[in-house]
Amino acid sequence: MAALKGVSDWEAMWTEADKDGSGFLSVHELRDLLNKNGSHVNDKEISQMFMNIHNHTHEDKRQGILELAKGNSDEKIDKEKFIIAMKHLQGCLHTAEQLFDKFDKDGSGFLEKRELMEVCKAAYGLSDREAREKAEGLLDLSDRDYDGRMSKAELMNALA
C-alpha cells in the first residue's frame, strides 16, 4: 500500500513515474503510480483524495486541486501535492485503524456489516442509508474471502 510508505519512498515512486522529467503527473499517471505500488484507486478516487486536502495547501494551489476534483483529467499534479496527499491519506489510515479497533466490539478481528456501517458513519459523517451503501461497497470491493465481514487488513487495503 503506497500510503503506508514514507516520504523517501514516495519521492522515489514519483521520480520513477515522472518519465519525462517535467515535475508533473496527470491523474492517469498518478493512478498508475499508486496502483503499481499496491493502492487500487480509480480516477474519481484520486480526484477526491486531492480535493480532501485542499485545506492543507496554499491558497494559490486550491484552484488546481478543485479542477482535479471536478474530473479534469488534463490537470497536472506536482510532487509537493502528491506528498501532501500521501501524508493526509496516511493519517486517514491511522484513524481508520483506530476506528476499526473501537468498533470491533467483540474483539474478533473482523467488522460485521453493522459494525462497518458504524465505522463509516463515524469516519465520514454519513447517514444510515449512506453508511449502509458505503459499507456494502467496501465489502463488495474488499471482502477477499467473501465471508460478509471485513478484517483489519481488508479495510486498510480498501482505504489505501
Q: Where are the alpha helices (DSSP H) in 25-127?
A: 27-36, 43-51, 59-69, 79-103, 113-124
Tell me: the pLDDT tens digits for 65-122?
Answer: 444 444 444 567 788 888 887 887 788 788 888 888 888 988 899 999 999 898 888 8
| Domains of the chain with CATH codes | 2-87 (1.10.238.10), 104-159 (1.10.238.10)
In Å, how far are 68, 77, 92, 95, 149 from 124, measured between CA atoms?
21, 25, 11, 11, 19
Angle between helices 7-17 and 79-103 in degrees, nearest 10: 130
Instruction: Confirm whether pTM is higher than 0.95.
Output: no
User: What is the model's pLDDT at position 65?
Assistant: 43
